[in-house]
Structure 1
């Protein structure tokens, strides 16, 4: 519990922003679903046969896995809040339509006949007593949709829409239970709170309910209001999940705002490589740090047959410019590449310094993730280049360090700047046959951004050749283990090295 409280205190700034984003996405989705669902149910009441078909279709849409739905939407409407809202609306409509239709259908026909006899038309019947009688059903549908939407909205973080899901994704990425609990518990409490508020409205008059929803809509609109508009030019910089990208983009922000009149908006823990790349292509963001090896192997689909960092960077720079007209500036010194690590006492006992030394140790069990186990610059390369035939156990990357620390595996796939290397006191084996390609971080952006703000090149290139692997490990350790803020760690490094 104390660890959970400490983590929450250290993450307060990001928490309140994530909470606001979560509420905004959820409420927008609910309001849109209401605007579609209730009129649709009123229309279907007049066409019972059509109603059965529509309810079946909306029910089927709700069975589509949310991750699959988000994936299907990305090619058409990109990433960010829009596809998340569309997906949430799809899930929210069915309970609203079904309950509204059921509530209206349950009204005694004799009441409708009596109202007609008194001269009421369809609209008057609806407003004077039909909606009142159906309201408990309607509110139950809205409550169900609201709880469902708030829970499902955690997945919005996967496509860069923010929200409490950021904490869950970051916690999984860092194997930090406290972060996962912060995201999960907050989402659950939010759902309970809104469910309780809607429960209070179930017995209220229609005017009170409509007024309450109108007030909610005004508050939602007000949450987007920014009273003081900054007249400075602004750019948006995003980073992948994890401490390292977070530290790097904070360095970019500090340098840019010190040496120019540009103001920087940060999107931390924005998502994985694919989402950031697509966001940059769609001009949803202006800049993000990418790794040389990732560009050559993932985007260019042509891994460079060289382990010279300069050659790989040049190929990445030329290739990404030809592919997307992206500018790719000079990289930092450290490489966040693949590596093999063992516990230090195991290394001493078996005299291990290089990967080649592993051939002298029989019956080794290795912990790899599925991707590394099947990569040519992973386990396939270890067999071909080093002649290693390891007993491989595949597992989620966040579990590999725990498996190594507990002795479940002897050798682990790691990234060379991971904070866990210091946290668990591991020995990283030298890649003496140069199997693993260079992965150096450098800022990537549209060429149009550099034309608009040419000063960015000189500002960001101040980090060119800076930051050793050991320095990056130390900074990652400060954020992941000591719970220091990435902004503070970035600022301290830049000050120490005379850059600010």
Structure 2
């Protein structure tokens, strides 16, 4: 409990910001969904055949996996709050449409006839009779949609929209239960509070509800315009994938850029989940810079396959840089020293018991293996499929979230995992990394990736980022990851300490 309270105190500013972002995204999505679904449902009560089709369409939209929907929206509308709101609106349509339709359609026909007998027009009958009677059912649907929106909005953190999902993702990635609980508990409490508020709105007149909703929507819109106007003209957005290592790197980028280029303001967007999210965001000008690995470029980001087998680290980088320039007019700056390649790891006691030290030696204990691996590794050609082919193995793995696979091998639920060579958990859990004795895994050297036009516009930024070229060893990177994930130090402080110790940043800066 003491740790929970201390974390709340230490991260109170970040928590308030995340809470506000979550409320903003959720309320805007709910209001837009209401403006679409309620009028459409009212119209559908007069067109029964169309109503059945609309219900089916809304139901199908709700079954689309949220991550898939976000991935589809990024190339169209970019990253941030916009795709998050669109996705949440899509999920909220069904409960609001369905409750409105049912609430009006099931009104006693004798009441409808009485209203007509009194000479009420269709609009007057709707406002004075139908909507007040159907209000409890409609509000029930709105409450259901609100709860669904708040829960799903946690995924907005994956595309730079912030919210309480930031705490959940950080907690999972850094094996920090307290952060996960704060994010989950905050989301649950927010759902309860807003659900109660909506329930109380049953006593408010329809006219006031409509006016209040429009005022809230306009208020959020005005706040967005003000924030846009306040942004400095020369602002760079630097993003990073999910994990401590990208977070450390982007803080290094920020420190170096702002030290050497006082007129340039940097905004960080950490903890993007997928490589494809970030790459599409860069190509569509939603982010300006992010750290990418040379092996990932050749294996996952190029439209035309490139044979990277047997290449040296320098050759891998040069092929990646040349291909990115030709394909998307991107500039790939000079790489750092360390090679954060894929690896396979087992427990040290298993390595001794089985006398296994190379990947090829797994063949002799294949029937004893219980692999747990990330979905990305299971799917990538330079991951499990390629390993099976190169080493003559027939492994199939249970897919796991990156951090959870380490917990699983530590507790003995699995006994073989994929890893990155700089992962702090290799040290934390005393795992043995198996030698890639047939040289299957390509080289993965990290370097800043940006559009060529940006590199030309900001030569000072390029010069600053190139200070990291040829620096940071595997051991240093693993130690920095250990400080963040295990010692729970902030990525910003770890990044700054490295830069100062290596005379790249003045001790008094930032």
TM-score normalised by length of structure 1 = 0.87
- Cα distance in 1 for partners of 2:356, 2:116 equals 91
- Cα distance in 2 for partners of 1:347, 1:250 equals 37
Q: Quick check: 1:100–1:138 contact (8 Å CA) kept in 2?
A: yes
User: CA distance change for structure 1 residues 92 and 245 in 2, over 3 Å: closer, same or farther?
Assistant: same
- Cα distance in 1 for partners of 2:356, 2:47 equals 77
- Cα distance in 1 for partners of 2:91, 2:365 equals 55
User: CA distance change for structure 1 residues 66 and 377 in 2, over 3 Å: closer, same or farther?
Assistant: closer
Q: Is 1:450 paired with 2:455?
A: yes
Q: Quick check: 2:345–2:417 contact (8 Å CA) kept in 1?
A: yes
- Cα distance in 2 for partners of 1:51, 1:364 equals 56
Which residue is equivalent to 1:398? 403
Q: Quick check: 2:388–2:395 contact (8 Å CA) kept in 1?
A: no
- Cα distance in 2 for partners of 1:230, 1:152 equals 29
User: CA distance change for structure 1 residues 46 and 366 in 2, over 3 Å: closer, same or farther?
Assistant: closer
Which residue is equivalent to 2:250? 249
- Cα distance in 2 for partners of 1:49, 1:228 equals 48
User: CA distance change for structure 1 residues 106 and 299 in 2, over 3 Å: closer, same or farther?
Assistant: closer
Q: Quick check: 1:286–1:446 contact (8 Å CA) kept in 2?
A: yes
Q: Quick check: 1:353–1:429 contact (8 Å CA) kept in 2?
A: yes
Instruction: Quote the offset at 1:146 in angstroms.
Output: 1.3
Which residue is equivalent to 1:278? 280
Which residue is equivalent to 1:216? 216
User: CA distance change for structure 1 residues 299 and 374 in 2, over 3 Å: closer, same or farther?
Assistant: closer
Q: Is 1:325 paired with 2:326?
A: no
Q: Map of 1:64-75 to 2, 5 A cutoff? A: 64-74=64-74
Q: What secondary structure is seen at the aligned counterpart in 2 of 1:336?
A: coil
Q: Quick check: 1:58–1:93 contact (8 Å CA) kept in 2?
A: yes
Q: Map of 1:117-132 to 2, 5 A cutoff? A: 118-132=118-132
Which residue is equivalent to 1:296? 298
- Cα distance in 2 for partners of 1:448, 1:79 equals 20
Q: Quick check: 1:363–1:391 contact (8 Å CA) kept in 2?
A: no
Q: What secondary structure is seen at the aligned counterpart in 1 of 2:50?
A: helix
Which residue is equivalent to 1:480? 485
Instruction: Quote the offset at 1:199 in angstroms.
Output: 0.8
Which residue is equivalent to 2:419? 414
Which residue is equivalent to 1:287? 289
Q: Quick check: 1:367–1:403 contact (8 Å CA) kept in 2?
A: no
Which residue is equivalent to 2:150? 150
CA RMSD of aligned residues (A): 3.3
Which residue is equivalent to 1:264? 266
- Cα distance in 2 for partners of 1:348, 1:93 equals 57
Deviates more, 1:145-154 or 1:448-457: 145-154
Q: Quick check: 2:299–2:382 contact (8 Å CA) kept in 1?
A: no
What is the number of equivalent residue pairs in this alignment?
A: 499
Q: Map of 1:5-84 to 2, 5 A cutoff? A: 5=5, 8-9=8-9, 11-74=11-74, 76-84=76-84
Instruction: Quote the offset at 1:177 in angstroms.
Output: 4.0
Q: Map of 1:131-142 to 2, 5 A cutoff? A: 131-142=131-142
- Structure 2, unpaired ranges of 5+: 506-510
Alignment partner for residue 334 of structure 1, among 334, 338, 350? 338
Q: What secondary structure is seen at the aligned counterpart in 2 of 1:466?
A: coil
TM-score normalised by length of structure 2 = 0.86
- Cα distance in 1 for partners of 2:105, 2:386 equals 66
Instruction: Quote the offset at 1:191 in angstroms.
Output: 1.3
- Structure 1, unpaired ranges of 5+: none
Which residue is equivalent to 2:508? none
